[in-house]
Amino acid sequence: MHKKLEEIFVERLLFIAAISSSIITLFIIGFIFTKGLPAINRVGFFNFIFGTEWLPLRGIFGALPMIVGSLYITGLALLMAIPLSLSCAIFLAEIAPRGMRMTLKPTIQALAGIPSVVYGFFGIIIIVPFIREQFGGTGFSILAASLILTVMILPTITSISEDAIKSIPREYKEASLALGATHWQTIKNVLFPAATPGLITAIILGLAKGIGETMIIMVAGNVALIPTSIFEPARALTANIALEMGYAGGIHYNALFATGIILFFMIMVLLVIVNYIRYKKQVIIGGGYL
């Protein structure tokens, strides 16, 4: 009887926690939309989304340069981070000796604990001058921001990917090796496909962290223009809010919240697409089509 009451109490407590989280999330979303919609209504939806100029003092608010900047920076960072992170995860889960694994894993996880402003200072001192000397320009660019962002999201993708690979039943590996496959063939053709849903989850979390990161303002250049090269400066949506919220007022204040609405929808669309891919993979794996 005592155990049953304890289970009921824990269930109710977890239910209250889940409902509270949902209510808080809905409240935040409602607040953002309440503050941002007046700017979109005044400027016009298409003018705001596809406008190429952001001139608050003249009442011109076009968010396209920031949208493109966010996509460029995050996309390039993912292109660099995904192969590196998955390679690290495979090495840690299947190849590295125990002693090396016990050293490397905490080291990689420690990267996630470094404050983002430290990464920003590192980028200013090391990355930006290197790009300036090798490729010209000011050095503050999409490439600089993407390199810093790659290091920032690498621990997240690596740790979750390693857990996904290690969660595959041992029988999968033993059966493959028993049939004559090499260790690498087993990793490539059995373990990796079976771990795909977990790997996609890791990429989702890395994507969410990357597109919402603000400290890239220190190395991105923060120019509200559509970039044509990875060596040109750019401004992300998050950076736009962080840079201007301190002095914004009136319609400018609402326009910054409107950029938050755009960021919200960008993340939602990306998560829906990736979750759909993950669901299809789970269905295929569940049906036995590895």
| pLDDT tens for the 290 residues of the chain, in order | 566 777 777 788 888 888 988 899 889 889 999 998 898 888 888 888 888 888 888 888 888 899 998 889 988 999 999 999 999 998 888 888 888 888 888 888 888 788 888 888 888 999 999 999 888 888 898 999 999 999 888 988 998 888 888 888 888 888 888 888 888 888 888 888 888 888 888 888 888 888 877 777 788 888 888 888 889 898 888 888 888 888 888 889 999 999 989 888 888 877 787 677 666 665 555 554 44
CATH assignment of the domain containing 91: 1.10.3720.10
Bridge partner residues of 197 (DSSP): none
Residue 103 lies in a domain: yes
Total count of domains within the chain: 1
Residue 58 lies in a domain: no
pLDDT recorded at residue 130: 92
pLDDT recorded at residue 289: 45
Residue 6 lies in a domain: no
Dist. CA 261–CA 81, nearest whole Å: 27
Residue 124 lies in a domain: yes
pLDDT recorded at residue 80: 92
Dist. CA 208–CA 186, nearest whole Å: 31
- Comparing CA positions, the residue from 189, 147, 157, 31 lying closest to residue 86 is 157
pLDDT recorded at residue 245: 83
* Phi, psi (rounded to 5 degrees) for 221: 100, -35
Residue 32 lies in a domain: no
Per the CB < 8 A criterion, the answer to whether 224 and 65 are in contact is yes
Per the CB < 8 A criterion, the answer to whether 116 and 213 are in contact is yes
**Residue 244, domain extent:** 64-286
Bridge partner residues of 61 (DSSP): 54
- Comparing CA positions, the residue from 67, 38, 115 lying closest to residue 239 is 67
Residue 38 lies in a domain: no
Dist. CA 180–CA 254, nearest whole Å: 64
Residue 161 lies in a domain: yes
pLDDT recorded at residue 290: 46
Residue 186 lies in a domain: yes
Per the CB < 8 A criterion, the answer to whether 39 and 254 are in contact is yes
Dist. CA 281–CA 283, nearest whole Å: 5
* pTM beyond 0.85: no
pLDDT recorded at residue 9: 78
Question: What single DSSP character describes residue 27?
Answer: H
Dist. CA 62–CA 233, nearest whole Å: 17
Q: Which two tokens stand for residue 128?
A: 């930006």
Angle made by CA atoms 278, 283, 284, in degrees to the nearest 5: 95
- Residue count of the chain: 290
